[in-house]
Amino acid sequence: MRAFFQRKRRMVIVLVLLLAGGMSIMAYTEKDKYFEIAKNLDIFAAFYRELNTYYVDDLPPEKLMHKGIDAMLEETDPYTDFIPEENLDELKFMATGKYGGVGVSVNTDSERTVIADVYEGSPIDKAGIKPGDIIVSLDGKNAKGMDQDDISRLLKGAPGSSLDLVVKNPVSGVETAKKIIREEINVRSVSFSGIAGNDIGYIRMTQFTENSGELVQSAYEELKKKYPAMKGVILDLRGNPGGLLDEAVVVANIFVDKNKVIVSTKGKVKSWDREYKTEEPAVDAHVPLVVLTNRSSASAAEIVAGAIQDLDRGVIIGQRSFGKGLVQTTRPLPYNAKLKVTTAKYYTPSGRCIQAIDYSHRNDDGEVESVPDSLRRSFTTAAGRKVRDGGGIEPDDNIDPTILSQVAVTLLRKQYIFDYATQYYYAHKNIAPAGTFSLSEDDFSDFLRYLDGRNYNYKTRTEEALEGFQSTARREKYYDAVAKEFEALQQKLKHDKKQDLLKNKAEIKRLLEEEIVNRYYMQKGRIAQSLINDNEVNEAIAVLHKPERYQEFLR
For the annotated catalytic residues, the residue numbers are 299, 310, 324
Residue 208 is given by DSSP the state B
Query: Is-contact 292 543, C-beta < 8 A?
Result: no
Q: Give me the sign of the Cα torsion angle 432, 437, 441, 445.
A: positive
Q: What are phi and psi of 350, to 5 degrees?
A: -75, -10
HEC profile of 257-295: CCCCEEEEEEECCHHHCEEEECCCCCCCCCCCEEEEECC
What's the rounded Cα separation, in Å, for the pair 40 and 538?
59
Largest CA distance in the chain: 112
Length of the chain: 555
Strand extents, DSSP E, 197-337: 200-205, 232-236, 261-267, 274-277, 289-293, 315-318, 326-332
Spatial neighbors of 257 by CB under 8 A, at least 6 apart, are 278, 281, 282, 285
Cβ burial of 550 (10 Å; 0-12, 13-18, 19+) is: buried
Residue at 543: amino acid letter: V
Upper half-sphere CA count for residue 424 (Cβ side, 13 Å): 26
Say which residues have a Cβ less than 8 Å from residue 362's Cβ, sequence separation at least 6.
368
Is-contact 248 263, C-beta < 8 A?
yes
Phi and psi (nearest 5°) for 338? -135, 150
- Is the Cα torsion angle 426, 429, 430, 431 positive or negative in sign? negative
Give the residue from 418, 344, 515 showing the smallest Cα distance to 112. 418
Residue 117 near residue 107 (C-beta atoms within 8 A): no
CA-based nearest residue to 230, from 169, 284, 297, 295: 284
Nearest to 118 by CA among 104, 132, 133: 104
Q: What CA–CA distances, in Å, run from 411 to 383, 414, 445? A: 48, 5, 15
C-alpha span between 181 and 83 (Å, rounded): 28
Q: Is 522 left (phi over 0), alpha (psi -120 to 50) or beta?
A: left
Task: For 49-88, list the strands marked E by DSSP.
Answer: 81-83
* DSSP-assigned letter for residue 169: -
